[in-house]
Amino acid sequence: MAFCRVLTGNQAISQGARLCRPQVIAIYPITPQSEIAETMAGFTAEGELDARIFRVESEHSALSIVIGAEVAGARAFTATSSNGLFYMHEMLHYASGLRLPIVMAVANRASPAPWNIWGDHSDSISQRDTGWLQVYVENCQEALDTVIQAYRIAEDRRVSLPIMVCLDGFTLTHVSEGVDIPPQDVVDEFLPPYDPEYSLSKLIERDETACFSPVIFPETSYMEYKYLQAKASERSKDVIREVDREFERKFNRKWGGLIENYHTDDADYILVTLGSLTTTARAVVDELREDGWSVGLIKLRFYRPFPEKELVDCLQDAKIVGVLDRNFSYGYAGAVYSDLSSAIDGRAEIVDFIGGLGGRELNEDHFRYMFRRLKELSTTRDQKRVEWIGLKMK
Amino acid sequence: MAIETDDFLLPGHPLCAGCGLAITLKHITRLLGKRTVALIPPSCSGPLATENSYKISLPGIHIALTHGAAIAAGIKAGLEAKGLKDVTVLPLMGDGGTADIGLQALSGSAERNDDILYVCLDNEGYMNTGIQGSASTPIGAYTTTTPAGRNRPLGRDRPKKDVFRIVSDHDVPYAATACISYLSDFKRKIRKANSTEGFRYIHVLNPCPTGWGFSPDKTVEMGLLAVKTGMFILAESEHGRIRMTHVPVKRIPVKDYIKHQSRFRHLKDDQIREIQKLVDERFERYLRIQEREDDKRS
């Protein structure tokens, strides 16, 4: 029987992970993720989850343990944030290169220095090229549901890639909402046990000897491995759409697959957001629409794979598009803006709004301002492409 | 023509002539048998695990330098989750991957008492990549990153890090040092480790003709001299209680060991006397630990 509980984002992630029955868990605590480490430990202590949980000395070892478990053929789970994610960096490449469908929650947090524990997306965005799929969730229900979707997507043999489920530090990790917890038997039907084509346990059972991830030479097959990995990342788009549709059939909820668009069909001014700020942006779109503005909104769920086709379809008829980047690629612009500009390829004007870094508040006024700026900039030619929002200096 | 062998280290491997590692690997894998997963980091063992030439006849994985103990613990847990409870997970780490960059993962795993058999294959430097110095390089040794010069006449100017004692101080079920030159001691320790549950650590000295600069026919002799001089101490520990397993009746001077190796060629007599003093001190420290443990037992 399904039932609703008031859960923080961290608890929702943990409930989602529990329902997926990971067999090995290794999580190092870090603000604002620690509650996931605590909740998963509690589940195993109370016998609500039959898993081997490791108290680790670092995130590097946490991900290494999870990698080891998945190479052996078991389902595994971990979570981290900011400095912890950076400490994992070496192993991020290793996990995707080994094509391991690890699911990891990332409680999004700023990238010190200066020291800051509050939310922005610079931690996960800066890991863009590690080969992990990245999905950004808007609320606690989506956090729980997306963990379940993520295992299905990652373990699909057309994909076999790890996924980061990213949730905003504090604004999601520490905010409580009513969350429907799906029944275990329905999740079990949706997500069968992990059965990889190759694993160390299969080698041992078949009494075979082989070496995973051996040294590969320049003129043999390294590039071919990487090409197959690139193809799988591309192919994951179909799987993400399919899984969201099937999820809806099973659980009566859908999250849009790669993106969710809101009043974009007839919109002149469209804003692209990721994560929990989408809720505020959506309220402002409703308000401005009542005032007669043709504004729209796109929630970018998956940043990798980058949903180029969906975005172009929705955005090419807009007068101007704004991107809200809670990150910055120093020396150029926000990362989402850069990728979107390349996808749009001149078919629409694009402006980059940098905001919400290190947990800086972005409220309805800021979103009204961004839409106003889009309208102003759509009629001027000499537009500044990157604007910092809510800056307290000139 | 295929060469038939019962060994798990296959013929035609690319290790150097006279490599101590080859002897060590052959014996370890023989003693552990086929329910073993070999973990091979970038190290002198790395060339045994290439795409077209995998020379260890066991299920294996080429791992990273940093995480030997952690990924081993994950593999063990994953195999157990899949119902395979009797498989030995064997990270075959080098001394750089143990004493330097992998020490944190090693300490974390030892503290958790993960059920793995961690082997440190110690050739006292990053030999596969061109003889760079590690924390396991002995004092006075020339390496390409600890060259002897006017401003640093010793070359490497700090004593070898004693990882065995560090691991032992995690109160793990079993830890030992070993050397193929003392084969029965070596084999007994591998068997003991294999029959123990929980975290097991074997630190093996592998004399390295290429990196140390001695003739490839002197590998076993170098191991004998390392132990007889006290440059390398054979010991073991159970739950933190350290015991020397071979005490030379009369230690021979350090000079009789280092004179065979070109890595020590630059040392002057007064420097050798300094090294002798450090070796004596470390040896006596072990004797005192041993006496304390003997007192506790009696």
Integer Cα distance of B81 and A76 in angstroms: 10
What counts of helices (H) and strands (E) characterise chain A? 14, 16
Residue A384 scores a pLDDT above 80: no
CATH number of residue A26's parent domain: 3.40.50.970
CB A119 within 8 A of CB A111: no
Q: For residue A211, what is the enclosing H or E element?
A: strand A211-212
Site of tokens 């229900």:
A141
Of how many residues is chain A composed? 394
Residue A208, min C-alpha distance to chain B (Å) = 7
Report CB contact under 8 Å: A61, B56: no
- One domain, residues A156 and A305: no
> Rounded to whole angstroms, what are the CA distances from A68 to A77, A91, A301, B58?
12, 11, 29, 17
Residue of B nearest to A97 (CA): B63
Integer Cα distance of B293 and B241 in angstroms: 7
Burial group, residue A292, by CB count within 10 angstroms (0-12, 13-18, 19+): exposed
Per-residue pLDDT tens digits for A118-135: 999 999 999 999 999 999
Quote the ipTM score: 0.96
Residue A1 scores a pLDDT above 70: no
A112 occurs within a structural domain: yes
CB B207 within 8 A of CB B7: no
A393 occurs within a structural domain: no
User: From the CA atom positions of chain A, what is the Rg in Å?
Assistant: 21
Integer Cα distance of A95 and A102 in angstroms: 8
Residue A383 scores a pLDDT above 80: no
What counts of helices (H) and strands (E) characterise chain B? 9, 10
Per-residue pLDDT band at B297 (split at 50, 70, 90): confident
- One domain, residues A180 and A115: yes
For residue B114 the two structure tokens come to: 């993960």
- One domain, residues A220 and A276: no
- What integer pLDDT is reported at residue A268 of this predicted model? 97
A320 occurs within a structural domain: yes
- One domain, residues A236 and A287: no
Per-residue pLDDT tens digits for B50-107: 998 999 999 999 999 999 999 999 999 999 999 999 999 999 999 999 999 999 999 9
For residue B173 the two structure tokens come to: 């079920």
Instruction: Say whether the peptide bond before residue B47 is cis (omega within 30 degrees of 0).
Output: no
A182 occurs within a structural domain: yes
A204 occurs within a structural domain: yes
- What integer pLDDT is reported at residue B291 of this predicted model? 83
Instruction: Compute the mean pLDDT over every residue in chain A, rounded to the nearest whole number.
Output: 96
A72 close contact with B: CB closer than 8 A? yes
Residue B41 scores a pLDDT above 80: yes
Per-residue pLDDT tens digits for A20-55: 999 999 999 999 999 999 999 999 999 999 999 999
Total domains present in chain A: 2
From B47, B60, B76, residue closest to A211, measured CB to CB: B60
Q: What is the dihedral of CA B256, B22, A64, B132, to 10 degrees?
A: 40
> Rounded to whole angstroms, what are the CA distances from B54 to A26, A205, B12?
31, 20, 10
Q: What string of H, E and C letters represents the secondary structure of B8-36?
A: CECCCCCCCCCCHHHHHHHHHHHHHCCCE
Integer Cα distance of A134 and B154 in angstroms: 52
Interface test with A, best of B37, B65, B103, B118 (most A CBs within 10 A): B37
Integer Cα distance of B19 and B128 in angstroms: 12
Put residue B141 in one of left, alpha, beta given phi > 0 → left and psi -120 to 50 → alpha.
Answer: beta
Residue B279 scores a pLDDT above 90: yes
A58: chain B residues, CB-CB within 8 Å: 104-105, 108
Interface test with B, best of A23, A211, A213 (most B CBs within 10 A): A211
Neighbours of A53 (CB within 10 A): 20
Site of tokens 């309220």:
A283
- What integer pLDDT is reported at residue B4 of this predicted model? 62
- One domain, residues A96 and A220: yes
Domain region containing A374: 260-388
Residue A234, min C-alpha distance to chain B (Å) = 26
Per-residue pLDDT band at A394 (split at 50, 70, 90): confident
Q: How many cross-chain Cβ pairs, A to B, lie less than 8 Å apart?
A: 161
Residue of A nearest to B46 (CA): A215
3-state DSSP assignment of residue B223: helix
Domain spans in chain B, listed from the N-terminal domain onward: 20-297
- One domain, residues A39 and A187: yes
Residues 6+ apart with CB under 8 A from B207: B20, B123, B181, B214, B218, B219, B220, B222, B223, B226
Q: For residue B200, what is the enclosing H or E element?
A: strand B200-205
What mean pLDDT is predicted for residues A196-209? 95
Residues 6+ apart with CB under 8 A from A164: A104, A105, A106, A124, A127, A132, A133, A134, A135
Write phi, then psi, for A120 (nearest 5 degrees). Answer: -160, -175
Interface test with B, best of A70, A91, A93, A201 (most B CBs within 10 A): A201
Residue B155 scores a pLDDT above 90: yes
- What integer pLDDT is reported at residue A382 of this predicted model? 64
A78 close contact with B: CB closer than 8 A? no
Put residue A162 in one of left, alpha, beta given phi > 0 → left and psi -120 to 50 → alpha.
Answer: beta
Percent of chain A residues past pLDDT 90, beyond the cut = 96
Name the pairing type of β-strands A269-273 and A295-300: parallel
CATH number of residue A370's parent domain: 3.40.50.920
Report CB contact under 8 Å: A57, B87: no
- One domain, residues A227 and A363: no
- One domain, residues A94 and A70: yes
B34: chain A residues, CB-CB within 8 Å: 207
Domain boundary among A182, A217, A251: A251
Residue A210, min C-alpha distance to chain B (Å) = 5
Write phi, then psi, for A160 (nearest 5 degrees). Answer: 45, 55
Residue of B nearest to A198 (CA): B59
- One domain, residues A236 and A347: no
From B79, B104, B112, residue closest to A54, measured CB to CB: B112
Report CB contact under 8 Å: A54, B77: yes
Per-residue pLDDT tens digits for B186-219: 999 999 999 999 999 999 999 999 999 999 999 9
Residue B2 scores a pLDDT above 80: no
What mean pLDDT is predicted for residues A13-19? 98
- One domain, residues A35 and A131: yes
In CATH terms, B20-297 corresponds, of 3.10.100.10, 3.40.50.970, 3.40.50.300, 3.50.50.60, to 3.40.50.970
Percent of chain B residues past pLDDT 70, beyond the cut = 98
A57: chain B residues, CB-CB within 8 Å: 104-105, 107-108, 111
CB A215 within 8 A of CB B51: yes
What mean pLDDT is predicted for residues A275-295? 98
Residue B262, min C-alpha distance to chain A (Å) = 31
Site of tokens 């630190």:
B203
CB A296 within 8 A of CB A371: no
* Closest CA relative to residue A280, chosen from A176, A372, A374, A171: A171
For residue B286 the two structure tokens come to: 């072990």
**Assessment of whether the complete model's pTM goes beyond 0.80:** yes
B72: chain A residues, CB-CB within 8 Å: 68
Report CB contact under 8 Å: A57, B58: no
Report CB contact under 8 Å: A60, B66: yes
Integer Cα distance of B180 and A369 in angstroms: 74
Domain boundary among A251, A277, A302: A251
- One domain, residues A247 and A273: no
- One domain, residues A201 and A321: no
Report CB contact under 8 Å: B73, A65: yes
Domain boundary among A251, A270, A305: A251
A375 occurs within a structural domain: yes
CA A80-A178-A147 angle, 5° bins: 35
